[in-house]
Amino acid sequence: MAKIVLASASPRRQELLRRIGVTEFTIRVPHVEEYYPDDLTPPEIVTYISREKSFAVPSDDDEIVITADTMVFLDEARLGKPRDEAHALEMLSALQGRCHTVCTGVTVRQGDRALSRAQSTLVYFRPATRAELKAYIAGGEPMDKAGAYGVQGQGALLVERIDGDFFNVMGLPVVLLQRMLAEFGFHLLPSIEE
């Protein structure tokens, strides 16, 4: 069976892989500049970057490399990781009471064969007070996350509802990944003959 390489330093992606039964994998962090052509749509942007990350990671022919790139978009504008607390407050203030899109591009590669796909999820924030947002930021959670929040932590208290894949918002759409891995003969839920 092929060996899995997760090309990501994200602890959330590592946790999600373990949750779905991939307990043995190697981590290799790609070092690429997140450049993309100006004319791409949000799903095309994250797919493009995940593919760039994939080919930046060396691998053997018996290894399946998984890369992902997650971005938050509000009215087609990208919200990256906050520079500082003031920037986090600016982003969270813009998101509160509104809907935004979380897009994750996933690339699965073995040798020169690569599949790249994207998943989009709509996230609706409840109206929040400035004091609530500042208290959330003071805890430090938003500082390393796109859009300045983590849905798997206290950021969940800001989210009113989600339309789509919850795990996509965490950074790895697991059902999409399962389907992509199956195309390489790696089955997370193998069939059992009755």
Mind telling me the catalytic residues?
69
Distance CA 28, CA 31 (A): 10
User: For residue 33, how far is the Cα from the chain centroid?
Assistant: 17
Distance CA 82, CA 147 (A): 7
Distance CA 44, CA 18 (A): 27
CA dihedral for 35, 17, 137, 89, sign (positive or negative)? positive
Distance CA 92, CA 158 (A): 9
Contacts of residue 5, defined as CB under 8 A and 6 or more positions apart, other chains included, come to: 25, 26, 27, 28, 57, 59, 63, 64, 65, 66
